[in-house]
Structure 1
Amino acid sequence: MQAPKPAVTHHRTVAIEGVEVFYREAGPADAPVVLLLHGFPTSSHMFRNLIPALADRYRVIAPDYPGFGQSGMPDHREYAYTFAHYADVVDGLLEQLGVRRYAMYVMDYGAPVGYRLALKHPERVSALIIQNGNAYEEGLKQFWDPIKAYWAEDSAARREALAFLVAPETTKFQYTDGVRDVSRISPDNWVHDQALLDRPGNKDVQLDLFKDYGSNVPLYPQFQAFFRERKPPTLIVWGQNDVIFPADGAHPYKRDLPDLEFHLFDTGHFALEDKADEIFPLIRDFLDRKVGGGP
């Protein structure tokens, strides 16, 4: 029996508002689209293994937000590093690519980016895959206290108090904390992410985003209304040991999505890194049933 051909991932950029936006793309041009939206402090790099696992049946698109990965990084004094702006950037990318319907995989920062996009175009969302991405205040636990303090008091002291979040030990922590077998996690992850965080000017990009994350919380009722009213087919694949987005934020989705397919895994924040062998088949099965990429 002949082995299937490996998927080819293309690495491309487009200009949006004069900024180069990098994205990875694979799969047939006429296939159902799966949009992969990354978290902090990573990029579309976090989907490097998932993309070829889906690309035989789906057109997979994974952008880097400005200031992340291989996308441009304008000076934070001249560019709005906000979640509303990121949703507009992703929307602009999809417009350029002619994409009018898509399933969304949202993780960490990708959740508010994706949910804001859903509020703009609710009819375009064919399905949701949620991995450690919050839409409920129950999910903002103790880890968020210093960030909430910055939301409440926009001072230089509060801002600088968050510098530890871009430090090497924190980047590594995000990949290893809560993981039972750390040998399954490639050190390339935190080395890659930290090199990008250490670029001159990137710290201020990230601190701007920590501040702006507070703008997502008042939208949580609108996100939840979208879930209830549109009832998108939804799969949760969540690392239950994550202290940043703990499982406390996963369970409330059940209130608004009664047909939710719900899975917790014994791992941390970046669940795809050590649980791909368990999560990828769930994603494939879900998409094939709900989006129509199957035979």
Structure 2
Amino acid sequence: MTLPGYPFTSHFLTRAGLSQHYVDEGDGAPVLMLHGNPSWSYLWRRLIVALRTEHRCVAPDHIGMGLSDKPGEDRYAYTLASRVDDLDALTDHLIATEGAPERGWTVVMHDWGGPIGMAWASRHPERVARLVVLNTAAFPNPHGARVRPALRLPLWLLRETRVGARLFLRHHAFARLATLPPFGVRRRLPREVRDAFLAPDDGRGHRVAVRRFVGDIPIGPGDGAWPLLTRTGESLGEFADRPVLIGWGLRDPVFDPLMLTEWRRRFPAAEVHAFPDAGHYVLEDAYERLVPAIEAFLRR
């Protein structure tokens, strides 16, 4: 497997018979990097390289994604709550046996990493020192129940049709489109980078996680993740005194400027870097500007 720009040692935590892969690089105050769907810890490669001389960078792959195990739905729940439990287990392990501190954690979140990371943070607010928010949400959709146009077709296919689910598994379309402009990025990725984003796909196992993440998107009170998302949104006020950096690609078809406005409403003192030429994968489209901004933020 060729992974350009990802020269990291793999670590694994086995729990309930499933191994979760994570990167653990550098020393210093811990920076916890949480990816979303359909990416994996490869997303953080540039940020890890930039920060690991001064910080301990921890970047897990969610179960079913990246280099983690890819169980069937009979062995893993594939829910927001199960993801938060996984993160709890990993951070407890790092604190109890791997020398990580109990306090002083910076949480960096993208896409599904937002609700996962903030739900974890609401369990342990004393651990969290700073937040870095990148094209994500940790509160109910400010658009209400109106589904964004970019999500209407995949949600309908996955939730309402069996054919859509089969096509999703067979062609891995969601992950492939996410690495192409204008869907996940605004500028074309080098072929070897696009291949690396897709490299952990082993067929159906990996694609189950991608499909279930889409199916778990909480649109309204009838969805399984809705209560936890609502509680997480209500808990954000606990972090109003923490330094917050927001890095946002304004050309994101799902996490649009109204989502950014909601984050700014919740954290009016946040340092905001908005990039009109960047899409959903803001760390791909604007890394030359965003990575130094995060470095400077953490030094302060």
Q: TM-score, normalised by structure 2?
A: 0.82
Secondary structure of 1:161's counterpart equals: helix
Cα separation, 2, equivalents of 1:225 and 1:13: 33
Correspondence for 1:70: 67
Correspondence for 1:273: 284
Encode CA deviations 1:235-292: one digit per residue, 9 max, x unaligned.
1101110112222211111221121111211211111113111001110111111xxx
Encode CA deviations 1:28-85: one digit per residue, 9 max, x unaligned.
1xx1100000111111111111101001110000011110011111111221111111
CA contact (8 A) 1:32 1:59 kept: yes
User: 2:233 aligned with 1:228, yes or no?
Assistant: no
Measure how far apart 1:25 and its partner are: 1.2
Measure how far apart 1:117 and its partner are: 0.5
Comparing 141-150 with 43-52, greater Cα deviation is found at: 141-150
Cα separation, 2, equivalents of 1:200 and 1:85: 20
Correspondence for 1:194: 198
| Equivalent in 147, 152, 155 of residue 145 of structure 1 | 152
Correspondence for 1:248: 258
Distance 1:74 1:198, change over 3 A: closer
Cα separation, 2, equivalents of 1:193 and 1:41: 9
| Equivalent in 259, 279, 288 of residue 299 of structure 2 | 288
Correspondence for 1:32: 29
Measure how far apart 1:169 and its partner are: 5.3
Q: What 5-or-longer segments of structure 2 have no aligned partner?
A: 1-5, 219-223
Correspondence for 1:86: 83
Q: How many residues align?
A: 275
Correspondence for 1:292: none
Cα separation, 1, equivalents of 2:39 and 2:7: 22
CA contact (8 A) 1:103 1:127 kept: yes
Superposed CA RMSD = 2.5
Secondary structure of 1:196's counterpart equals: coil
Q: Percent identity?
A: 29
User: 2:158 aligned with 1:161, yes or no?
Assistant: no
Distance 1:201 1:250, change over 3 A: same
Cα separation, 2, equivalents of 1:195 and 1:164: 19
Correspondence for 2:247: 237
Distance 1:217 1:149, change over 3 A: farther
Measure how far apart 1:219 and its partner are: 3.8
Measure how far apart 1:170 and its partner are: 4.1
CA contact (8 A) 1:241 1:267 kept: yes
